[in-house]
Amino acid sequence: MYHAPSDLNEALEIARDFGGTVVAGGTDVFPSAKQGHLPDNILDVTGVAGLKDIEHSSDGSRIGAAVTWSQIAKSALPPAFDALKQAALEVGSVQIQNAGTIAGNLCNASPAADGVPSLLALNAAVEVASLARGVRLIPLSEFVLGVRRTALQSDELVTAITIPPVPPHMGSAFEKLGSRSYLVISITMTAAMVSCDDQGRLTEARIAVGACSPVAQRLPELEARLVGQRLTDIRIAPSDLAALSPIDDVRGSKDYRLDVVAKQCERAIKRAAQNG
Ligand SMILES: Cc1cc2nc3c(=O)[nH]c(=O)nc-3n(C[C@H](O)[C@H](O)[C@H](O)COP(=O)(O)OP(=O)(O)OC[C@H]3O[C@@H](n4cnc5c(N)ncnc54)[C@H](O)[C@@H]3O)c2cc1C
């Protein structure tokens, strides 16, 4: 059965009574289905009114769950969102960016999901809705629980990603390393969001790293150490990244990944400072 509701209440009723698969762009769901065994029961959320809207004001931002990466890349958002826009352009290819959605990336809960570090830096929360419990807001850091595990209940849908107001003059940047430059899974990725005073010293730093632990994470100790430093003096070493636990695999050793992240942090901070 294929359900394609246009109204959120109808979608939530289907989700409550449903035993199937929620699908947005399908770019994670369909490739992971065993050949010839597509889900019998599909709830397609892409037609639900309001889920494809991006709203931004001084009170904060709201990105609908079914907003695609292409929409984000083209959106008129302030420089604090540049890291997210750069990440959007790294998700697969243009075809994947046209279909793949922000909520699909978060719900798939891959350690290498390109959208997560920038959203962690933005202090994003995931808005979820169900008929039983209404709307709840879950900080992104508490939404992705582990590899392929989220806090979403079976009767819930993600309706939006919300972002609190961003301090003025904060810029951001995203760095991704893959085994080639295009259409590739991340070996490491880093998002930085910073502000500087007129002496070039950092007044705020938010750093998040993906693909180096089961769940992408902020690095609060490093962030605290960076505040007050001049941009020109910033040096980051693997010893600053003790919170990370990258794997050793064919795409890179643990030590290699930590070396790369240290360089990505330095580069992303400098790039972020330039666009703030
Ligand atoms: C060739 C290829 C290249 C790729 N490259 C990258 C890459 O470079 N970087 C990267 O991060 N990802 C990549 N991906 C993965 C994928 O494109 C992204 O994760 C994308 O954002 C998923 O969005 P989607 O809408 O297609 O998700 P779907 O496949 O529709 O859904 C993914 C998961 O989210 C759930 N879901 C979706 N929407 C909702 C909702 N509103 N409420 C509740 N649950 C929901 C689904 O049930 C499913 O569990 C690639 C995929 C392919 C096929």
CA dihedral (85, 90, 94, 99) positive or negative: negative
Residue 194's closest CA among 274, 114, 140, 261? Answer: 274
Which three-class secondary structure state does DSSP give residue 26? coil
Protein residue with its CA nearest to atom 28 in ligand 1: 26
Q: Which residues of 188-198 are buried (b: 16+ CB within 10 A; e: fewer)?
A: bbbbbbbbbee
Residue 205's closest CA among 239, 240, 245, 160? Answer: 240
Q: Which two tokens stand for residue 262?
A: 């240290």
Task: Give the atom of ligand 1 at the shortest distance from the alpha carbon of 115.
Answer: 11
Are 207 and 218 within 8 A, CB to CB?
yes
Protein residue with its CA nearest to atom 52 in ligand 1: 27
Per-residue pLDDT of the chain (276 residues; tens, 9 = 90+): 999 999 999 999 999 998 889 999 999 999 988 877 888 899 999 999 999 999 999 999 999 999 999 999 999 999 999 999 999 999 999 999 999 999 999 999 999 999 999 999 999 999 999 999 999 999 999 999 999 999 999 999 999 999 999 998 999 999 999 988 888 899 999 999 999 999 999 999 999 999 999 999 999 999 999 999 999 999 999 999 999 999 999 889 999 999 999 999 999 999 999 988
Dist. CA 25 → ligand 1 center (Å): 7
* Ligand 1 neighbours by CB, cut-off 6 Å: 21-29, 31, 45, 65, 90-92, 96, 99-101, 103-105, 107-108, 113-114, 152, 157-158, 185
